Amino acid sequence: MVEAATFPLVTPLGRSKATFNCEWLRHSVAIARHFAAPLNQVLCATGYSMIEGSCLCGNVTYKITSKISDVVHCHCVTCRKAHGSAFSSVASVPIDGFELKGRDQLNRYESSSGKHRFFCKTCGTQVYAKRDKKSNIILRLGSLDTPIPSDELAHTWVSHSVEWFDIDGDLPKYDKGMRGT
């Protein structure tokens, strides 16, 4: 782990939280590149690790105060069915760095032996999964409210991919919804 004193700290200086978070993240990326350090280490070392998330209705919220792994996109049938999508984007987070509020608002489902998926009782948002006897959770990245300092690592279980999704596709991309739909 890189020492906190190694990196210059950024302070809000009266800026709005959203503006500060965006500027702080850009500044942290620049510091990480300059020192050739992993961005996760810079974020934790600067003491401003504001990774937050919630369910759709807001009854369940969380903060991550530790390192988060790189992103994996899982195409297995179980993830596709649980999320109602072509794949699920996930990252591993140590349990001791995961602060959850609204635990009583979660239901859980054992989707495979020893693996429990936790989701909001009210809106159904998949928040995380936990395997028995493991010291990390599998965070469902669709529930994030803030950017994360992680890169994509891989697509897994591509042998289970749906035929209508092309990983290598070059579809048009829109900042907002498509017009006329």
pTM, full prediction = 0.70
Give 6's pLDDT tier (boundaries 50, 70, 90). very low
Convert the pLDDT of each residue in 13-50 to its tens digit.
443 344 444 455 555 566 656 665 555 555 555 544 57
Residue 151 pLDDT: 86
The whole-angstrom distance between residue 17's C-alpha and the CA centroid of its chain comes to 20
Say which residue the tokens 């996109």 belong to: 73
In the chain, the domains with their CATH numbers are 1-48 (no CATH), 53-160 (2.170.150.70)
> Which of 69-78, 114-123, 155-164 ranks highest by mean pLDDT?
114-123
Cβ-contact 93, 54 below 8 angstroms: no
Count the alpha carbons within 13 Å of 94 in the hemisphere toward its beta carbon: 5
